[in-house]
Amino acid sequence: MRGPSKTPPKYRKHKASGQAIVSIDGKDFYLGPHGTHASRIEYDRRIGEWLANGRQLPSCSKSITIVELVAQYWKYAKGYYVKNGETTDELPGLKIALQVLKNSYGETTVDNLGPLKLAALQEKFIARGNCRKYVNQNIGRIKRCIKWGVSQELVPVDVYQRIATVNGLRKGKTKAPDRKPILPVEQCVVEATIKAISNPIVKDIIRIQSLSCCRPGEAVAIRPCDIDKDRIPGVWLYYPESHKMEHKDRHRVIVLGPKAINILSKYMTANRNSFCFIRNCGKPFEATHFAQAIKRACTKAGVKHWAPNQLRHATATEVRRSHGLEGAQVVAGHAQANVTQIYAERDVSKAVQIMREVG
């Protein structure tokens, strides 16, 4: 009977993926990008474990299944994706992605998950009629689940390295359709919707979003402590505690003009840390509640349904028509991620000029 190998397996390059690889006892381990210091460290770790175990692989009998991993990750995610005591919009999407993963490969052990299985999941989402961006989001969610498993030492690192080689769907290179662009809502439709709303708070949130060109989540989350009334005469500066691009360290300031100030003033409570817009149940409004209220009002008014983001697009379109593309960019907060503080100040000044007129 052939005994354990005496020569340590070699550090090699896997040509198809560009990854460093080592084959131990007939099993391939991906180590990271070939030639990097990190991949050399991972190679040394694998070989060290192999040597310490008598020149053979340690037992892998404790490998967990996909369904077990998903259960643990879901428990973590419910605590992680929370803001202001409420779960974020990411959680429902994550639940769908994990359900597809679990239904397809629930009883598969995590170390048997590879690029072909992930590519098959891509095809499942495409077959459901999902748009390209949504498919990529869900595949990204599945990758995050596996990556978390690696961080908890539940999943071998080479599993994540393998599935990381699966690229997102590219425009024009897939059967998955692209989402239709969001079109601005007409002002007459907005006014008809407002007339059908009984809650005066919802009416005022619509007006403030329309006047400020802010995102729905920013409109509902205003607090007195986020408002600077004194820096620039005639306008208020709103610094959202959280916003869409905060994970990229983006600067975000929303300029509120005289009309918006007039509406918001009555909601500026003595408690600076409390939210201005509160539902009947005593909890703060969220973007989902705001959107639902608009949807119900549209049905009641007999007008075509529209979403809060269409209101933002309508304002940006009007600003662009009257003040040019740059004016629309600075008002809507579309500056580049690497803008310097000098340019950020320039943008605020231009937004102030515009909102004094239109907001």
Domains of the chain in start order, with CATH, are 1-59 (no CATH), 66-163 (1.10.150), 187-358 (1.10.443.10)
Pick from 54, 46, 45: which is nearest to 28 by CA? 46
Euclidean distance between the first and the last CA atom of the chain, given in angstroms as a whole number: 84
pLDDT digits (tens, 9 = 90+) for 57-102: 765 445 789 999 999 999 999 989 887 677 887 899 999 999 999 9
Calpha distance 8→95 (Å, rounded): 43
Find where tokens 């990750």 sit: 73
Distance CA 31, CA 43 (A): 6
What average pLDDT does range 247-252 have in this prediction? 58
Confidence check: pLDDT of 345 > 50:
no
Residue-averaged pLDDT of the chain: 84
Is the pLDDT confidence value at 339 over 60? Answer: no
Contact predicate 197/293, CB 8 Å: yes
